Every structure is written in structure tokens, then in C-alpha cells.
Amino acid sequence: MTAATAPVGAKPTACLALADGTIFYGHGFGATGITTAELCFNTAMTGYQEIMTDPSYAGQVVTFTFPHIGNVGVNPEDDEAGDPVAAGLVVKWDPTEPSNWRSTEKLVDWLAKRGRIGIGGIDTRRLTRMIRQQGAPHVAISHDPDGNFDIDALVAEARNFAGLEGVDLAKDVTCAQSYKWDQMRWAWPDGYPTQTNPRHKVVALDYGAKRNILRCLASAGCDVTVLPATATADEVLEHQPDGIFLSNGPGDPAATGEYAVPMIKTILETTDLPIFGICLGHQMLALALGASTIKMNHGHHGANHPVKDHDTGKVEITSMNHGFAVDTDSLPDGVIETHVSLFDGSNCGLRLKDRPVFSVQHHPEASPGPMDSYYLFERFAKAMEDRG
């Protein structure tokens, strides 16, 4: 077992155990108990609540590289899902008292009510370097106010975690039944307005959709009907959509593709509908077009990722959250790579050569992050308008 780190002063009340035997001691907050997951890091400086409620983080504990986590509290408007989906969080400094006019609750209390463990007092720089160098590890995180930890058992739990490869998590986070969405993007001073004059009927496949993606669709003039991840092509087409949207989501795209890919292939083969995908939806479209996906070493998680648009030559700063990527070398003829990461050259976008079918790996809805790529929602709307 490698040397452990320990917080200065206060007795440790939380423990992070990695599968290789590395132990980090810290201060626990939020829920008590033990959680196992894959560990990733996120470099965003804002939006910890949106990150914790992003369904794409199912099965993962998030290490925040920015130290000030919890200082603006939480509020119902910033949830991307009904409850936190990330398994837990790791931070440098313990959350402070919130100081923000929009705050309705402390992060610590919010986590406790929703069964999520937090651990503070951790050397997050060291932890992040380990993840970058060794890949996203399997971990067990324990919070015990009395500071009693069975280290051998925690390491064993981390080693027994099944991981995310080959696992379909979209079924765990998708909606139980279809529903309509008409809420638009937040606008000062009244919050979220309602779309009252939609121009395009869109069916959105929910593989773990963030609410702000649906808001962006509504703001682009879409009448949005959300369907579960397992919806068939017949169930999609019975809504007579003008376009199909494929959402973000967690887990291994190859596993989710077992039921999602046949549906998308049928849509592609039997209709000329515009299709737009984001994140896991991008990977689902790629698989349906004949490409393949790969597990990344540590993934991309943050709000400062530079992406180059090959069509325009422009560089966009984007939000990302993915641990799998489309294999560029597997893209078949007729499928054009449109965007690429300037961090590592990985694929970040594709389109069909002669049809309004396109997708991106990054998150143009941000939340949190920059809005450089919002134009993609407008491009989708224009494709539906041009089709008539």
C-alpha cells in the first residue's frame, strides 16, 4: 500500500481508497456510508451543482480541481436532473457558508439529503496527476463521523468495482415514460420562460438528457417530446417529428448501442429527417453509421476544452464530459469529421456528407461553461426549416 495523505489538524472522518492501494484521508460531509465508482476529475471553475446532477456522471466520483466548491450554495433552478447523479465528490477545501443571492440551501445539506458523499481536505493536484498518468481508477469513498475505516475492506471494494466498460447506464438514468418539454433558457430577471410558438416538432431520445439541452432545443423553436432511451423507431416516428435529437448520457456507448443503434439505423434508412446528437448521442450516431468507440485514459471533463471546427477553421472553447470517444480511424466513407479536440486530437464531431445528420462530442448547451457552440442548435433548427 502506498503512502497515505492526511489532513492537517482535525481527525479524518472520510477516506478515499484507490484500487492500487493508495489512501487519501480527509473531512467527510454530506451523506455517510461507502460508495464505489470510477474516479474522474473536472476542471470547471463554476457549476458544481450542474456537474453533480449531470446524468452523464452516473457511476463516477468527481474530483474538482477548482478549490472553491460549495461557496455559492445550491438552488432548484440549477439542477440538470431531479437529484445528483454523480456518486460523490472530492474537493481541496471543505465547503464554506454559501454567499449568493440565488442560494436556497447549503451544498453539505443538499448532499446529505440526497445520499451523496463528499470528502474535503484532499490534495486534489496530486490526485489529478495520478488520474492523468494512470487512467481513471476504481475507488471506494467512505464517510464515518467517528473516523473508523477498514482500509483493507475499502481497497477490496474498489478492486471489486466492475467499472464502466461494457455497462449500459443509460437505462438507469433515462425517463420512465415520454413527456413534453417547453421550458426555454434562463433569462433575466424572470428565470425560465415558456416556449409558446414552436416551429419544429422534435423527438429527443433520453440517454441521460440534461435539462439545459432541452431548454436550448425549446429556445431554438422546437416543440420537444422526450422519449425513453429504449424507444423503437416506430415509437419515434409515430410522433411525426421534423427532426430527431440524441442526448448525452453515461456508460459504455457500445452497451447502450445494442438497442439504440438499430433504432437510429432504421431512422436513417427509412427517412430523410435531420438528426442531431450530443455526447453519448454523438457516439450512438457514430456506431449507427458504422464507426466504433474506445475507452479513454481519463476522459475529458471540464469547461475549457478547445475544439477546432474543420468546416470553419474556428476554435471553440467548450464544455466536455465523456470517458469514451469515437475512433476517428473507424469513420466510414461518407462520414466527415467536423470537430477535433486540440488537447489530444480525439474526435469531437461528425456529419454525413449529403444529409442534415450531424453530432458533436462536446456540450453546446454548456451549463456550466461557454456558449461558443450554441449555434449547433440553430443549425439543427435551420435543417428542419429547410426540409419544409
C-alpha cell at 211: 435539462
The last residue of one of the domains, among 160, 178, 202, is: 160
Residue 256 carries which side chain, given as an amino acid letter?
A: T
Based on the fold, state whether residues 317 and 248 are members of the same structural domain. Answer: yes
Based on the fold, state whether residues 372 and 302 are members of the same structural domain. Answer: yes
Based on the fold, state whether residues 209 and 325 are members of the same structural domain. Answer: yes
C-alpha cell at 81: 436532473
- The rounded percent of the chain whose pLDDT value lies above 70 is 97
- Indicate the pairing of strand 315-326 with strand 293-309: antiparallel
Give me the helices (H) in 32-73, please. Answer: 48-52
* Cα 246 versus chain centre, distance: 14
C-alpha cell at 29: 460531509
Omega before residue 368 within 30° of 0, cis? yes
Residue 2 predicted with pLDDT over 70 = no
In a domain, 7, yes or no: no
Based on the fold, state whether residues 83 and 135 are members of the same structural domain. Answer: yes
In a domain, 38, yes or no: yes
pLDDT (average), residues 342-363: 98
Based on the fold, state whether residues 204 and 229 are members of the same structural domain. Answer: yes
Strand partners, 363: 319
Based on the fold, state whether residues 117 and 194 are members of the same structural domain. Answer: no
In a domain, 105, yes or no: yes
- The rounded percent of the chain whose pLDDT value lies above 90 is 96
Based on the fold, state whether residues 279 and 365 are members of the same structural domain. Answer: yes
Question: Which of the four pLDDT bands, split at 50, 70 and 90, describes residue 319?
Answer: very high
In a domain, 375, yes or no: yes
Q: How far apart are CA 28 and CA 84, in angstroms?
A: 17
| pLDDT of the residue at 3 | 42
Strand partners, 226: 179, 204
| pLDDT of the residue at 1 | 44
| pLDDT of the residue at 315 | 98
Domain around 263: 170-387
Based on the fold, state whether residues 113 and 197 are members of the same structural domain. Answer: no
The last residue of one of the domains, among 138, 160, 182, is: 160
Q: What are the residue numbers of the active site?
A: 279, 363, 365
Based on the fold, state whether residues 181 and 102 are members of the same structural domain. Answer: no
| pLDDT of the residue at 61 | 98
In a domain, 54, yes or no: yes
Based on the fold, state whether residues 150 and 270 are members of the same structural domain. Answer: no
Give just the sign of the alpha carbon dihedral 51, 56, 61, 66: negative
Q: What is the pLDDT of residues 300-315, one digit of tens each?
A: 999 999 999 999 999 9
In a domain, 165, yes or no: no
Count the Cβ atoms, other than its own, within 10 Å of residue 151: 16
pLDDT (average), residues 66-81: 97
Q: What is the CA radius of gyration of the chain?
A: 21
In a domain, 8, yes or no: no
* Cα 155 versus chain centre, distance: 27
Q: What is the pLDDT of residues 7-29, one digit of tens each?
A: 455 689 999 999 999 999 999 99
Question: Which of the four pLDDT bands, split at 50, 70 and 90, describes residue 140?
Answer: very high
Here the CATH number for the domain that contains residue 81 is 3.50.30.20
Here the CATH number for the domain that contains residue 344 is 3.40.50.880
Based on the fold, state whether residues 74 and 197 are members of the same structural domain. Answer: no
Count the Cβ atoms, other than its own, within 10 Å of residue 354: 7
- pTM score, two decimals? 0.96
Q: What is the pLDDT of residues 272-305, one digit of tens each?
A: 999 999 999 999 999 999 999 999 999 999 999 9
Give just the sign of the alpha carbon dihedral 101, 44, 80, 117: negative
Based on the fold, state whether residues 103 and 150 are members of the same structural domain. Answer: yes
- Enter the DSSP assignment of 55: G
| pLDDT of the residue at 388 | 80
pLDDT (average), residues 37-46: 98
Domain count, the chain: 2
In a domain, 297, yes or no: yes
| Mean pLDDT rounded to a whole number for the chain | 96
The last residue of one of the domains, among 93, 128, 160, is: 160
pLDDT (average), residues 151-179: 98
